[in-house]
Amino acid sequence: MKKITLCAKFHIHAGKEAEFKEIIPQLIAKVKANEPGAEAYNWYFNSEGIICHVVETYSDSDAVMAHMGNVGELLGKLMAISDLSGDIYGSLSEELQAAMGTLPVNQFNFYQGL
């Protein structure tokens, strides 16, 4: 399975919710303009507006690496005002596994499915 799905989970620092939300349209615009391998990039908030999950699907590991390079600066701004964790699903390339190893992300290898 080449497709990679991930869920980035942000716990936003108190009082930083508006600042966090101001960055999201910039990220979506960059992904839309520069990442043909991005198949889904959807943002969700809990009812209190302090936890945000981003559910993302990419065509393959190379597309995830391109995404990381494309949004790195803006992601850094989000990480300065939130705590990041996440889960990534799929058969990751060695390069992507190494890149994910620097982040607080759980890796899950594909086993079976439709």
Give the pTM: 0.94
Specify the DSSP class assigned to residue 13. Answer: P
17 is a domain residue = yes
What is the per-residue pLDDT across 51-78, written as a single tens digit (0 to 9) for each?
Answer: 999 999 999 999 999 999 999 999 999 9
Q: What is the spatial distance between Cα 85 and Cα 53, in angstroms, rounded to a whole number?
A: 10
Give pLDDT tens digits for 16-62: 999 999 999 999 999 999 999 999 999 999 999 999 999 999 999 99
Q: Report yes or no on 66 lying in a domain.
A: yes
Check residue 1 and give its pLDDT.
Answer: 64
- Domain for residue 42, yes or no? no
* Main-chain dihedrals φ then ψ at residue 13, nearest 5 degrees: -65, 145
| 15 lies in some domain | yes
Cβ atoms of 32 and 42 within 8 Å: the answer is: no
Is the pLDDT at 94 greater than 70? The verdict is: yes
**Cα–Cα distance, 57 to 107 (Å, whole number):** 14
9 domain-assigned: yes
Domain boundaries, position 13: 4-36+60-108
Does residue 44 sit within a domain? Answer: no
Residue 90: inside a domain: yes
- As for how many domains the chain has, the answer is 1
**What is the model's pLDDT at position 114?**
85
Query: Looking at the domain assignment, is residue 47 inside a domain?
Result: no
